[in-house]
Amino acid sequence: MKLTFPHMGNMYIPVKGLLEYLDLEVVVPPFSTKKTLELGVKYSPEFACLPLKINLGNFIEARELGADTIIMAGGVGPCRFGLYAQVEKEILQDLGYDFETLVLEPPDKHFGQFIARVKRIIGSNSWWKVMEAIKFAYRKSYAVDMVERKVQKLRPLEKKPGTVDMIYKHALNSIDNAQSFSTLEEATSLSLLKLDQVPIESDREVIKIGLIGEIYTLLEPFVNLDIEKELGKLGVEVTRSLYLSEWISSHLLKNLITDENIKPFRDLAKPYLNYFVGGHGWETVGYAVGFSQEGYHGLIQLAPLTCMPEIVAHNILGKVKEDCQIPILTIYLDEHSGKAGLITRIEAFVDLIRRQLETQRRLAR
Amino acid sequence: MIRVGIPRSLAYFKYFPLWQTFFESLGAKVVFSLPTNPLIVEQGIKSVVDEACLPVKVYFGHVQYLKDKVDYIFVPRLVSVERKEFTCPKFLGIPDMLKASIPDLPNLIAPTIDLTKQDKYLWKKVWEVGRLFSSNPLKVSLAWQKGLSELSTYKQTWLEEEIPAQLNIYYKPTYSQSLKVVLLGHEYIIYDQYLSMYLIEKMAKLNIKVVTTEMLSPWIINKEAKSYPKRIFWEFSKNTLGSVFYYSKQEEIAGFILMSSFGCGPDSMTASIIQHYLKGVKDKPLLNLTIDEHTGEAGINTRLEAFYDLLMRRVG
Ligand code: SF4
Ligand code: SF4
């Protein structure tokens, strides 16, 4: 049995950590590339949302490396994500690929069957070992996030462009390679230390932008065209509404672990949005208000084209923008999005923010 | 008299007899917006973000139409009308979206109907709305009962394979010898003549007998939908798939037409499931029609006629 799973940014690090901790054989799909996307687009329904298409591409590429079993998260509505696993399975079947799938979701009908399938995959591992493995995976995701938050702070300040990202890449590798709790800790602190030593220009004016929106487009640099790196080059410090470990703790571990970084988005979203709308639409609106209260200079919303919860949020953000007096840029991404277009748009956006700051300063004088 | 506006769009097609009777029994005057027309569409497009689907844009247009003509507009937040089933995420956000983008709205009556986990609390919602018109719970309850009975008459008409007269749709084929084709799609698309570009009338003219999801009893639909390995958590998609599973086993059914809006999330998944399923069924072709604000009628006509020819060749 060779296990695989879809990519979503750095997600592969904890997932691989989890499975390897249990001595299971893992095939990490090749990182998403243009080829992955092309494969996905070719075989997916035309109007499916972008994450589904890339998932599918990941599976096809993993298949070529011998994977035969898929593990992925699921859901029971109200958004499309809950049907991904089933629909992807059907498409793969039509292509002649027979995968076994294990969908992590609240089992609807057959709880026993679900447990049986989990057991089949974990084999002779004890439940205690499984708990340890989950803890290990969570720690990995937390380590990735700590490093990433620091990277986001340093990018706009580094003296020599590219230094931070080079260290970041190494850091991810060393976290990924850590096989035990102790090596993981070592790798993390070493990476943080290295980042602390990056030469910076601390008097540079940094623009703070909150990145909000749909999870996949937030976490996967391949689909968001490396927007964070590009913003860093423009002197922007980025904070996202969503980090990997937060999603794992809230979505997969049902909040067993509390995280001080998670904002009370439901309260913040009032009175603009008073109900869940699937996906991360509620978070998007809540974090928009939260970030602007914290004095962020601007917000960028990312979403796959046709993403329903984000369209709802987008419409509501118009009002937030007005009331909170904060510039907001919404960017929809699909298979036709290009980097040049993205850069033009964010450059114009950052320019606008800088000009506004300049005017404010002049008025204050 | 208090005037309550009801947009002739989205859930209207499924529930208007209930809503109308309920409000009228409580002494209100019900004002429906006009059937969708180019002006309404234009107004709608202006009031909501470009990326929204056409039906949502049109809904906004209907609300714009009613805005200055009534005291209240009824825009329920329909989260879930059956256990563990949802409507579309966009339905979930409708009242908030309206408030964010249309200034100077009259009061909205926007009860949240979420029966995902419990259905007992429906009465609470009925009372929440009824209270605006009467302080007498008994009167409100009677109005609700009356509304429900109107709704059940309406539904009964469907079950007799008729399209209720209130919808003003000319759907009867000219000759009795006709092809039977299943038309799939959201009620607010296929029964909205402007949005569907008179698709049902066109089919009737081609001597096609139209059957739809609404013409099947919920009992059959639920039974069929259960055979699918994954719970279909969108009520609409469940109904569509349930009817595809059922109708595809009926010999007299010549084929399927699915009409959806460009960018519709649920339909993108439903369509994929239908295509996969029909691959395993002999002789039930499927025609996919997608509409948006730029769709030309000529294109739809050509595709419908080509599909008709295909079906005719098959029945020989
Ligand atoms: S949240 Fe957006 S991207 Fe995710 S399943 Fe829903 S529509 Fe697709
Ligand atoms: S179901 Fe489709 S057409 Fe209807 S509101 Fe949702 S996205 Fe739009």
Average pLDDT of the segment spanning B42-62: 97
Task: Count residue pairs from A and B with Cβ separation < 8 A.
Answer: 135
CA distance B62 to B98: 11
Look up residue A209 and give its two tokens: 């932008």
Measure B154 CA to ligand 1 centroid, in angstroms: 35
* A219 and A364 co-located in one domain: yes
CA distance B124 to B130: 10
Beta strands in chain B (DSSP E): 3-6, 29-32, 72-74, 77-80, 107-109, 112-114, 179-184, 208-212, 253-261, 286-291
Q: Count of domains in chain A?
A: 3
* A64 and A189 co-located in one domain: no
What is the structure's pLDDT at A213?
A: 97
pLDDT one-digit tens code per residue, B281-295 = 988 999 999 999 998
The residues lining ligand 1, judged by C-beta closer than 6 Å to any ligand atom, are: A 49, 51, 79-81, 214, 278-279, 304, 307-309; B 265
Closest residue in A to B48 (Cα–Cα): A315
* A65 and A119 co-located in one domain: yes
Say if the Cβ atoms of B268 and A82 lie within 8 Å.
no
From the CA of B88, give the closest atom in ligand 2: 6
**How many Cβ atoms are within 10 Å of B309's Cβ, its own excluded?**
11
* A43 and A88 co-located in one domain: yes
Per the prediction, chain B carries an average pLDDT of 94
A269, B99 Cβ separation under 8 angstroms: no
Q: Which of A185, A202, A219 is the last residue of a domain?
A: A202
CA distance B210 to B154: 18
CA distance B235 to B213: 12
Average pLDDT of the segment spanning A229-250: 93
% chain B with pLDDT above 90 = 87
Q: Is the pLDDT of residue A110 over 80?
A: no
Closest-CA distance of chain A to residue B68, Å: 21
What is the structure's pLDDT at A201?
A: 95
Nearest C-alpha neighbor of A237 from the set A158, A355, A351, A332: A158
pLDDT one-digit tens code per residue, A10-58 = 999 999 999 999 999 999 999 999 999 999 999 999 889 999 999 999 9
Beta bridge partners of B255: B181
Q: Is the pLDDT of residue B275 over 80?
A: yes
For the domain spanning B161-315, the CATH number is 3.40.50
- Please state the domain extents for chain B: 3-158, 161-315
* A258 and A246 co-located in one domain: yes
**Distance between first and last Cα of chain A:** 69
* A210 and A351 co-located in one domain: yes
Same fold, B3-158 and B161-315: yes
What is the structure's pLDDT at A254?
A: 63
CB within 8 Å of chain B, chain A residues 295-314: 305-309, 311-314
What is the structure's pLDDT at B281?
A: 92
Q: Is the pLDDT of residue B314 over 80?
A: yes
| CATH number of the structural domain spanning residue A114 | 3.40.50.11890
From the CA of A84, give the closest atom in ligand 1: 5
* A257 and A346 co-located in one domain: yes
Task: Kindly tell me the number of DSSP H helices and DSSP E strands found in chain A.
Answer: 15, 7
User: What is the SS3 assignment for B155?
Assistant: helix
| CATH number of the structural domain spanning residue A318 | 3.40.50.11900
Average pLDDT of the segment spanning A75-86: 89
ipTM: 0.94
A197, A220 Cβ separation under 8 angstroms: no
Closest-CA distance of chain A to residue B284, Å: 18
Average pLDDT of the segment spanning A352-356: 96
What is the structure's pLDDT at A16?
A: 97
From the CA of B189, give the closest atom in ligand 2: 3
Q: Is the pLDDT of residue A122 over 90?
A: no
% chain A with pLDDT above 90 = 82
What is the structure's pLDDT at A22?
A: 95
Would you list which residues of chain B are within 8 Å, Cβ to Cβ, of chain A? 48-49, 51-52, 77, 79, 84-90, 92-93, 95-97, 99-101, 112, 229-234, 262-269, 271-273, 275-276, 279, 290
Sequence-ordered list of residues with C-beta below 8 angstroms from that of B214, at least 6 positions apart, any chain: B155, B158, B187
DSSP element (H, E) containing A69: strand A69-73
Per the prediction, chain A carries an average pLDDT of 93
Say if the Cβ atoms of A83 and B232 lie within 8 Å.
yes
Q: B97 contacts in A (CB within 8 Å)?
A: 312, 315-316
pLDDT one-digit tens code per residue, A254-292 = 656 666 677 788 999 999 999 999 999 999 999 999 999
A50, A28 Cβ separation under 8 angstroms: no
Q: Indicate the range of A264-278, B179-193, B208-222 predicted with least confidence.
A: A264-278
Say if the Cβ atoms of B86 and A308 lie within 8 Å.
no
What is the structure's pLDDT at A108?
A: 64
Among the partner-chain residues B90, B230, B279, the one whose CB lies closest to the CB of A83 is B230
Say if the Cβ atoms of B273 and A90 lie within 8 Å.
yes
CATH class of B3-158: alpha beta
Average pLDDT of the segment spanning A132-152: 96
Amino acid at the residue B127? W
Q: Is the pLDDT of residue A202 over 70?
A: yes
pLDDT one-digit tens code per residue, A299-348 = 999 999 999 999 999 999 999 999 999 999 999 999 999 999 999 999 99
Measure A262 CA to ligand 1 centroid, in angstroms: 21
What is the structure's pLDDT at A263?
A: 78
- Count of alpha carbons within 13 Å of A177, Cβ hemisphere only? 8
Among the partner-chain residues B96, B268, B279, the one whose CB lies closest to the CB of A273 is B96
What is the structure's pLDDT at A257?
A: 62
Say if the Cβ atoms of A49 and B265 lie within 8 Å.
yes
* A236 and A112 co-located in one domain: no
Average pLDDT of the segment spanning A80-102: 92
* A196 and A229 co-located in one domain: no
Say if the Cβ atoms of B93 and A273 lie within 8 Å.
yes
Q: Indicate the range of A125-134, B91-100, B172-181, B237-246 predicted with least confidence.
A: B172-181
Strands in A100-104's sheet, in edge-to-edge order, are: A3-4, A69-73, A100-104
Task: Kindly tell me the number of DSSP H helices and DSSP E strands found in chain B.
Answer: 13, 10
From the CA of A48, give the closest atom in ligand 1: 8
B54, B261 Cβ separation under 8 angstroms: yes
* A46 and A172 co-located in one domain: no
What is the structure's pLDDT at B209?
A: 94
Closest-CA distance of chain B to residue A183, Å: 41
Ligand found nearest the CA of A219: 1
What is the structure's pLDDT at A220?
A: 97
What is the structure's pLDDT at B121?
A: 80
Closest-CA distance of chain A to residue B60, Å: 12
Look up residue A215 and give its two tokens: 């999870």
What is the structure's pLDDT at A251?
A: 72
B181, B206 Cβ separation under 8 angstroms: no
Q: Residue A163: give the domain boundaries.
A: 129-154+157-202
Exposure of A152 by Cβ count < 10 A (0-12 exposed, 13-18 middle, 19+ buried)? buried
Kindly state if the Cβ of B8 falls inside 6 Å of ligand 2.
no
**Is any Cβ of chain B less than 8 angstroms from the Cβ of A333?**
no
Measure B52 CA to ligand 1 centroid, in angstroms: 14
CB within 8 Å of chain B, chain A residues 264-283: 272-279, 281
Average pLDDT of the segment spanning B169-180: 84
